[in-house]
Amino acid sequence: MHISRWLVLSILLFLPNLLFGQQSPAENRALPDTLRVMTFNVLYATPDEATIQAIKSTKADIVGVQEISEPRLNYLARELDYYYHHNGNHEASYENDTGILSRYPISRATKYGATIYLNVDYPIHIYNVHLSASPYEPYDLRDGKIDEAEAVQQARFHRFPQIQPVLKDMKEELKAGAPVFLTGDFNEPSHLDWTRKAASKGMHGGKSVQWPISFELARQGLKDAYRTVYPDEVNHPGFTWTTLQGDPDEVHDRIDYVYYSGDGIKPVDASLAGISSEETDITIDGYPSDHRAVVATFILKK
């Protein structure tokens, strides 16, 4: 069959959009005063309308989504009038289930996220991950299967290799002081939470653990937005796992994060969104997920 070379050329030019969702040029607009970045594990097979309402309620500008298929992400984007990119096919998305929703045009889709120009002069780089859920060390610690040192060793073996390619990809941006945001369900607590201070108060089973992912991100220059706004891990534990209640043996923890880096980037607020509870800042009726979402508000250098 003869195929026109112009048809082939057209397909090749259009192929990136087929693979990476919507890509659009930067717009000549004023830089916003603030940027609201959300991480949201939406939970497989939950109602789309409830998910849409949750995002609207938080007024998030950019959402790193986990447990999302490409068709579902496409639908959410259309209903929200957002841009989208499904970036699930990589090492740090263990179920091929990550994506990005953005109020601003996605100028360049990448393997681990996207570059988004807030205006023609201000690009930001967003990365989004969903790391392996099993084995889950807090449960093993609770059940006495491992000790603190073994928890670190196990987490390093299973999740550390997943995050390394992402850190390698953002290395030059971090070095240049460019605005970088990393969202995700990491399925791993933070060393900033499992401290000796928290352990002395009986939190986390009285154990102190230097969790490897959060420690490495800090070493690379990424800051935890929630813990920057709320540095007291005892008075503001910030539990995102889980919204499910009634199980006295459940281990509640903070495993969903918004990290940031860049000259002039400063978080001024961090909120948890979910069902009505002591931990929740933004209560959403009919909230669909078993994770609380994290919404961080940043001021930007102009």
User: Where in the chain are the domains?
Assistant: 29-299
Q: Summarize pLDDT for 123-157 with one digit per residue, the tens.
A: 999 999 999 999 999 999 999 999 999 999 999 99
Band of residue 70 on the pLDDT scale cut at 50, 70, 90? very high
User: May I ask the CATH architecture of the domain 29-299?
Assistant: 4-Layer Sandwich (3.60)
pLDDT at 176: 97
Q: Summarize pLDDT for 160-196 with one digit per residue, the tens.
A: 999 999 999 999 999 999 999 999 999 999 999 999 9
Band of residue 302 on the pLDDT scale cut at 50, 70, 90? confident
- The side-by-side arrangement of strands in the sheet containing 293-299 is 83-86, 98-102, 62-66, 34-41, 293-299, 266-274, 282-283
Please answer whether residues 291 and 25 qualify as being in contact, where contact means their C-beta atoms are separated by less than 8 angstroms: no
Question: Does residue 20 register a pLDDT over 60?
Answer: no
Question: Does residue 13 register a pLDDT over 50?
Answer: no
DSSP 67-96: S--HHHHHHHHHHHT-EEEE--SSTTBTTS
d(CA 299, CA 179): 11
Q: Summarize pLDDT for 78-105 with one digit per residue, the tens.
A: 999 999 999 888 889 988 999 999 999 9
* Omega of the bond leading into 240 within 30 degrees of 0 (cis): no
- pTM greater than 0.85: yes
pLDDT at 25: 63
Question: How many angstroms separate the Cα of 33 from the Cα of each of 175, 181, 213, 249?
Answer: 25, 17, 31, 44
| DSSP H helical ranges for 241-292 | none
Question: Does residue 286 register a pLDDT over 50?
Answer: yes
